[in-house]
Amino acid sequence: MDGARNRTLVGAAEAAAWFADLGARGASERTSAVYRNGLDSLRLCLGGRKVARLTDVGADDLEAWRGELVREKKAPGTVDVYLRAARGWLGWLEKSGLLFINPAAAMTLPKVARRLLPVPTPGQMARILAGPNPATNFGVRDRAILEAAYATGARREELVRLDATDVALEAGTLRVTGKGRKERVLPLTKAAVRWLGRYTQHTRPKLLKGKLDEPALWIDLHGGRLASPALDAVVKKCARKARLRRITVHTLRRACATHLLQNGAHPFFVKELLGHATMKHLAHYLRLSIADVKAMHRQSRLGR
């Protein structure tokens, strides 16, 4: 949407305030971007319906917007996220005293059939982890990144924000700062400890290029903090070398959770490891594990 036009639509200042609050509470850039698209779509619809004030927004306006999304053939997942963004924003406005009545209070969200996203097998993960060249400084760094990501299931943003002081090799732990600025201390595998030790003690000082005041754990080509796109590139490069497609940092997080559950880890432990607020966020990983068990059962019956 055109920026100038967006500012003339209803709720510009209120939307900006909500996004500022989301950022302060630790929302990721990706989440904010998707929610922003949703609110832009809603506000454009309200503008077309001549709604000039937020206090004039009614449940009928929201239903008209929902209809527009369907007619535009938005994917069910996109519609779901957009509606959640609207409900979150309008609910926040009510709590902030900017709305007396929340028009989204009774809005129902569609039940979206979430497909099971593929997860690399342990063997495929071994190929990804073996991708970096350990004879080079950046190869050692990249191997340490992959091992830390797979061992902890840390989010992309959590990995990028890591400082060198967040690593405790003797304790075998990594401290990450997640959503809402909440800290978690996560256990590392022996392989992750080994590669992080090699990286922090021998490789990182070389990559700093004399910038001894740089706190970041992962160092880039210029001696500064590794950015999110560069982290994505590391994972993509190693996945491509392993002849695997559509592998991201989040894929490593899913692999960590799924493999732990498949090997008998308690779901509550996995929930705490991933930093989820409730067990419902673990449903996808549990579904994967159940699907895996069913597949094994079918194979065993075919083999009789």
**Given 253, 254, 259, 271, which residue is catalytic?**
253
What distance in Å separates the CA atoms of residue 121 and residue 169, rounded to the nearest whole number?
A: 27
Q: What is the DSSP code string of 62-91?
A: HHHHHHHHHHTT--HHHHHHHHHHHHHHHH
CA angle 102–103–109, rounded 5-degree value: 110
**Given 49, 236, 241, 250, which residue is catalytic?**
250
> Strand 173-177 to strand 167-168: parallel, antiparallel, or no bridges (unpaired)?
antiparallel
Q: For residue 38, give the nearest of 90, 99, 105 by alpha carbon.
A: 90
What distance in Å separates the CA atoms of residue 252 and residue 120, rounded to the nearest whole number?
A: 8
Active site (annotated) includes residue 250: yes
Q: Does domain 122-300 have CATH number 3.30.720.200?
A: no
**Given 179, 184, 241, 284, which residue is catalytic?**
179
What distance in Å separates the CA atoms of residue 124 and residue 146, rounded to the nearest whole number?
A: 13
Q: What is the pLDDT along the chain (304 residues), one digit of tens a residue?
A: 555 555 578 899 999 999 999 888 877 788 889 999 999 999 999 999 999 899 999 999 999 999 999 899 988 888 989 999 999 999 999 999 999 889 998 888 766 555 556 789 999 999 999 999 999 999 999 999 999 999 999 999 999 999 999 999 999 999 999 877 788 999 999 999 999 999 999 999 999 988 989 999 999 999 999 999 999 999 999 999 999 998 999 999 989 988 988 888 888 888 888 887 666 666 665 555 545 544 433 443 433 3
What distance in Å separates the CA atoms of residue 202 and residue 88, rounded to the nearest whole number?
A: 47
**Given 155, 156, 161, 259, which residue is catalytic?**
155
Active site (annotated) includes residue 253: yes
Q: For the chain, which residues make up each domain, given as ranges?
A: 3-95, 122-300
**Given 127, 198, 276, 284, which residue is catalytic?**
276
